[in-house]
Amino acid sequence: MPSTIIDSAIFGNIFSTDAMRAVWSDENRTRQYLLIEEKLALVQGRLGIIPQEAADEIIRNCDLAKIDMAKLRAQTERIGYPVLGVVSQLNALCRDKLGEYCHWGATTQDITDTATVLQIRQALALIDEDLAAVSKAMAKLARDHRDTPMAGRSNLQQAVPVTFGYKMAGLLAAVERHRERLSQLRPRVLMGEFAGAAGTLASIESGAMETQEALMRELGLAQPLIAWHTVRDTIAEVGAFLGLVGGTLGKLSMDVKLMMQTEVGEVYEPYAHGRGSSSTMPQKRNPISSCYIHAGISVVRQHAAALMDAMMADHERSTGPWEIEWIVLPEAFCLLAGALKQARYVLEGLEVDAAQMRANLDMTHGLIVSEAVMMGLGRHIGREYAHDLVYDICREALRQKRPLLDLLAENAEISAHMTRAQLAELCDPSNYLGQAGVMVDRVLASLKD
């Protein structure tokens, strides 16, 4: 009976995806064990390390359909590791004791680690697809809203005007950096393990390094320079990458939640009948996907830290930190897959209310462009003096609840240098967007595909 949010029949496809769960399933893990044993027998038969007849028999029986999964569960509970159970069943399937040549020179961790790397390769391919889709959706929003003015915010207060395209382009740039990180980490992370009991391959008298090289070539993995049984930086790097991606998705979800507030109302998650409604408040439209993203990626970040803990392994084969990876790596991938799925849903159907963005810009009656006024006046009376003068006028505008433009135009010291029309130009938020559009264009121009 499923008991976690990832495997839940109710919540499972909210917090994860079928495709990512399949990668980390018992069946797929066992399939990778069998693939490695098959390729090991193939290579060792070719090199003459084991009899070709044995290699052929082992290869013939490396079939997931032939593995008794219930028996494997019992074997694993008794032994402590599933690889030995798989090898035992595979041995029994082979005729004339030819299965004794299965797993020749390998150790449990060789097969386990290499299978994990094969699963990581499959999982990263899914992450890559989702990141590409997220990038595409963000790029469209950045392009469509390059010049859509809105309030930039600092400490949750209106700061200076920006554009919604600028906001999206900032996130897009981060997503593109993640895609670059992914391409950079693959050569380091997608590295197999075949090193024997303490990493020296002493159990194979001749052809040890040739076996290792050929096995990795068959699996499409990099050959390690040296055993990494207890040097786990590459696995931790994967966790760090997942945490970084999650952090960017969390930033997206946070901004969407804040912009969906009733008092703000600038964007909305895609509408679906009944989605986000309350059991008692019919008017509600809650940021459902953003909440799921926030929850999922918060756990991913904790799992990234746990993978750092797993690096502190003892000697050449460790006494426990390794198993941390078994627990958290699948969950981290599954939860991030769910967060990416929700992010795609939000971005591909996001409702943008440009009129409300403009209304929010105007709600302070010009105060949001006080910096623009200060800089404009600074040319005439000095920046610091202009700052203090505009500061005092802003306080008065708040007290009197009048437009900033009116008080500026009424000030004799200011009107001596600038007309009301000139001040009106300074007080228009759409005239104070700086290089936002240029920066959006730069991000869009940098996209590889």
- Looking at per-residue confidence, does 285 or 239 come out higher? 239
Position 94 pLDDT exceeds 90: yes
Every domain of the chain and the residues it spans: 124-142+163-201+225-352, 358-446
For residue 21, the tally of other CB atoms under 10 A from its CB is: 19
pLDDT attached to residue 155: 96
At 265, the pLDDT band (50, 70, 90 cuts) reads very high
Strand 157-163 relative to strand 351-352: parallel, antiparallel, unpaired?
Answer: unpaired
Q: What is the mean pLDDT of residues 60-87?
A: 96
Is the pLDDT at 123 greater than 70? The verdict is yes
Residue 289 confidence (pLDDT):
95
Q: CA-CA distance, 327 to 333, in Å (whole number)?
A: 11
pLDDT value of residue 363: 93
Q: What is the rounded CA–CA span in Å between residue 163 and residue 433?
A: 7
Contacts of residue 235, defined as CB under 8 A and 6 or more positions apart, other chains included, come to 116, 189, 307, 310, 325, 329
- CA pair distance 131, 129, nearest whole angstrom: 6
What pLDDT shows up at residue 271?
84
Burial (CB count <10 Å: 0-12, 13-18, 19+), residue 169: buried
The pLDDT of residue 448 is 83
Is 269 a residue whose pLDDT tops 90?
A: yes
The architecture in CATH of the region 124-142+163-201+225-352 reads Up-down Bundle (1.20)
Confidence of residue 91 (pLDDT cuts 50, 70, 90): very high
4-16 pLDDT per residue, tens: 999 999 999 999 9
pLDDT at residue 152, rounded to an integer = 97
What is 358-446's CATH superfamily?
Fumarase/aspartase (C-terminal domain) (1.10.40.30)
CA distances from 119 to 101, 123, 125, 240 (A): 26, 6, 10, 17
**Does residue 276 carry a pLDDT above 70?**
no
Q: What is the mean pLDDT of residues 284-290?
A: 89
Confidence label for 279 from pLDDT (cuts 50, 70 and 90):
low
- pTM of the full structure: 0.94
CB environment 237-254: b (16+ within 10 A), e (fewer): bbbbbbbbbbbbbbebbe
Higher pLDDT among residues 70 and 281, named by residue: 70
C-alpha dihedral sign at 407, 409, 412, 416:
positive
Rounded percentage of the chain residues whose pLDDT exceeds 70: 98
Question: Is pLDDT of 287 > 80?
Answer: yes
Span 135-154, pLDDT tens digits = 999 999 999 999 999 999 99
Give CA–CA dist 164/61, Å, rounded: 58
d(CA 392, CA 265): 31
What are the tens digits of pLDDT across the range 314-340? 999 999 899 999 999 999 999 999 999
Quickly state the pLDDT bin for 284 (edges 50, 70, 90): confident
Is the pLDDT confidence value at 425 over 80?
Answer: yes
Q: What is the helix (H) or strand (E) element at residue 386, kind and residue range? A: helix 383-400
- Mean per-residue pLDDT for 239-261? 98
Here the tokens at position 110 are 């060789």
Q: Which residues are catalytic?
A: 278, 317
How many C-beta atoms lie closer than 10 Å to residue 318's C-beta? 16
The position carrying tokens 């009376």 is 381
Q: Is the pLDDT of residue 278 over 70?
A: no
Q: What is the pLDDT of residue 272?
A: 80
pLDDT reported for residue 25: 97
pLDDT of the residue at 436: 97
Pick the range with the lowest mean pLDDT from 270-279, 313-322, 387-396.
Answer: 270-279
User: Which pLDDT belongs to residue 417?
Assistant: 94
Quick: pLDDT tens for 391-409. Answer: 999 999 999 999 999 999 9
The three-state secondary structure class of 129 is helix
Q: Say if residues 357 and 266 touch (Cβ distance below 8 Å).
A: yes
pLDDT of residue 277: 62
Q: Report which of 62, 64, 63, 55 is spatially closest to residue 98, judged by C-alpha positions.
A: 55
Would you say 415 and 393 are in contact if contact means Cβ atoms under 8 Å apart? no
Question: How does pLDDT run across 36-52, given as a tens digit for each residue?
Answer: 999 999 999 999 999 99
Q: Across the chain, what does the average pLDDT equal?
A: 95
